[in-house]
Chain A
Amino acid sequence: MDSVNGAVWVLVLPFALAAVALLAAAANAALDGRTRGVSTTSGWVAPLQESARLLRQQRRTLPGADSLLWRIGGAGLVVAAVLKVLVVPFGGFTFADLSVGLVWFNAMDVLLWALWWLLGWGANSAWSLVGGYRFLAQALSYELPLMFALTAPAIGAGSLRLLDIQDAQSGLWFVVWMPVAFLVFAASVVAFSSWGPFQTATGRDAAGGVIGELSGVDRLVVLAGRYMILVAGAAFSVPLFFGGGSGPWLPAGVWVVIKTLAVVALLLTVRRLFPTLRPERLAEVALVLIMPLVLVQVAVAAVIVVVNGGAL
């Protein structure tokens, strides 16, 4: 694709990502609504209604709030989500063909450590700060397994470039022989979005945590950014584990979107099977149980690559 076309698509990208995030939020609200006996339609429109309400709401700031850092934390979530999708290949086309695309994704998810904490810090509220520190405590548990889970596809393809990783799966998708790496990656996506079972940073038991003091458009940006990160993580799993744009009949770019939506649907469904996990409990699970499992996964992948002389 030529550079002019790419420049146009890069302008479309944030809005497309926001649209998919809205779709995910709507589906989630519909599922939530169904368990409470609300009609499915009012579930689907709930995020739109909430957006309209927040847009009209007056912005509220506590005295002594560090507004600069607070706003950076909120807007940064959206920016980090877009920066993650920049390296995702849509078939042969990618916005930024970095030779270290995988490390780029890792750097962006570490950026979320800073952003969630800044959100908690900036509000000048004790509960928000508790939420920020909860996120960091959780991050210490998920980040190491995530880094090793990211290592597995890189070993399989022998490259850190996303296009190479995608192309290495022409024979067999990595998810087939790296299932543990995919599960850890998917759980980490949910964790760095502070969503689902890993939402203690925004938990009701801490009066909303990092989002407790947010109001108006600030709150809207953070809630949207959270779903955008979730969708960006799901999109990133496609070149890593699901063969990128490979698929019959349709163009590769469309397949990437379809697979992303499938992974998001998976996350929305599986989320309901797990209770919220407190960070101090997660630490032991992640470091005593998950870490050895994911290390074995990396070792198995490495042995397969050496014996087979490349990806399966």
Chain B
Amino acid sequence: MSVVLFWFFSIVAVASAAAVFIVNSMARASYALALSFIAVGAIIVQLELDYIGVITILMMVMEMAIMAVFMVMYMGMNPALMPMDMRHNKHRSAIIAVFVFVLLAAGALLIPWPERMGVPAANVTASLGESLMGSKMLVMLVISPVLFATIIASLVLANPRGRYDRRGDNLDRRGADGRSEPEDPIRGGLGR
């Protein structure tokens, strides 16, 4: 049963990954990729890494949904909504794809895989949390602010009616009619 499921999810993962480059719509490509990741997440659950598997599905579906927002934000409406070829720079990307595939497949088949030495922890989710929050805490503490700053910076750059646009680079521009605040076409829900 688990072998059948493994092959099912593997075929879904590979087939939908191939579909990403065959379909001619951005939406279909995005969600074919999401389906591929969902199948990979299911395989991870089969490895009894429940938390990582489910969180993979969660993150990847969310990522594809967010990508739909960025798709329109950065590309403009036309190329995102029109049928388009999903393959670019075809010859070189084909060469790279074949090379990487041969490398990974040869590695997977030719490496003398070691026998399992230890046994998995009783509660893998808890031990994952402990290793992330314990000895790797410093790495997490360094990475998180960097990632967060990147997100904020990209939003500030992309948002045309953000407060840097309204109030100037130093946030000190005043309203045209002498009011203390510049005009804001869309006020936030807290009335600021």
Q: Is the interface of B mostly helix, strand, loop or mixed?
A: helix
Hey, which chain A residues are within 8 Å of B65, CB to CB?
110, 113-114, 117, 136, 139
Hey, which chain B residues are within 8 Å of A285, CB to CB?
188-190
- B125 CB-CB contact with A under 8 Å: yes
Hey, which chain A residues are within 8 Å of B72, CB to CB?
133
Which of these, A107, A282, A283, contacts B61 with CB under 8 Å? A107
Hey, which chain A residues are within 8 Å of B34, CB to CB?
114
Hey, which chain B residues are within 8 Å of A114, CB to CB?
31, 34, 61, 64-65
- B28 CB-CB contact with A under 8 Å: yes
- Interface size, chain A (Cβ < 8 Å): 32
Mark contacts of A188-201 with chain B using CB atoms, 8 A cut-off: 1 yes-contact digit, 0 otherwise: 00000000000000
Q: Complex Cα distance A121/B67, Å?
A: 14
A103 near B51: Cβ-Cβ < 8 Å: yes
B50 near A66: Cβ-Cβ < 8 Å: no
B68 near A283: Cβ-Cβ < 8 Å: no
Q: Given the known inter-chain contacts A284-B190, A284-B192, please indicate yes or no for A121 contacting B50, CB distance below 8 A.
A: no
- A106 CB-CB contact with B under 8 Å: yes
B68 near A107: Cβ-Cβ < 8 Å: no
Which residue of the partner chain A has the closest CB to B50? A100
Hey, which chain B residues are within 8 Å of A160, CB to CB?
51, 125
Q: Which residues of chain B in 139-183 are interfacial with respect to chain A, using CB atoms and an 8 Å cutoff?
A: none
- B97 CB-CB contact with A under 8 Å: no
B190 near A107: Cβ-Cβ < 8 Å: no
Q: Complex Cα distance A66/B28, Å?
A: 9
Q: Complex Cα distance A98/B28, Å?
A: 31
Q: Which of B54, B64, B192 has the most chain A CB atoms closer than 10 A to its own CB?
A: B54
CB distance from A135 to the nearest CB of B (A): 9
Q: Is the interface of A mostly helix, strand, loop or mixed?
A: helix
- A257 CB-CB contact with B under 8 Å: no
Q: Which of A114, A277, A281, A288 has the most chain B CB atoms closer than 10 A to its own CB?
A: A114
Q: Given the known inter-chain contacts A100-B50, A100-B51, please indicate yes or no for A110 contacting B27, CB distance below 8 A.
A: no
Hey, which chain B residues are within 8 Å of A117, CB to CB?
65, 68
- B109 CB-CB contact with A under 8 Å: no
Q: Which residues of chain B in 1-40 are interfacial with respect to chain A, using CB atoms and an 8 Å cutoff?
A: 25, 27-28, 31, 34
CB distance from B87 to the nearest CB of A (A): 20
Hey, which chain B residues are within 8 Å of A104, CB to CB?
54
- B43 CB-CB contact with A under 8 Å: no
Hey, which chain A residues are within 8 Å of B188, CB to CB?
280-281, 283-285, 288
- B133 CB-CB contact with A under 8 Å: no
A100 near B125: Cβ-Cβ < 8 Å: yes
Can you list 25 A-B pairs, Cβ within 8 angstroms, ordered by A? Answer: A66-B25, A68-B28, A69-B27, A100-B51, A103-B54, A103-B55, A106-B58, A107-B55, A107-B57, A107-B61, A110-B61, A113-B62, A114-B31, A117-B68, A118-B27, A118-B31, A136-B65, A160-B125, A282-B189, A283-B189, A284-B190, A284-B192, A285-B189, A288-B188, A289-B190
Q: Taking beta carbons and an 8 Å cutoff, which residues of B are in contact with A? A: 25, 27-28, 31, 34, 50-51, 54-55, 57-58, 61-62, 64-66, 68-69, 72, 125, 186-190, 192
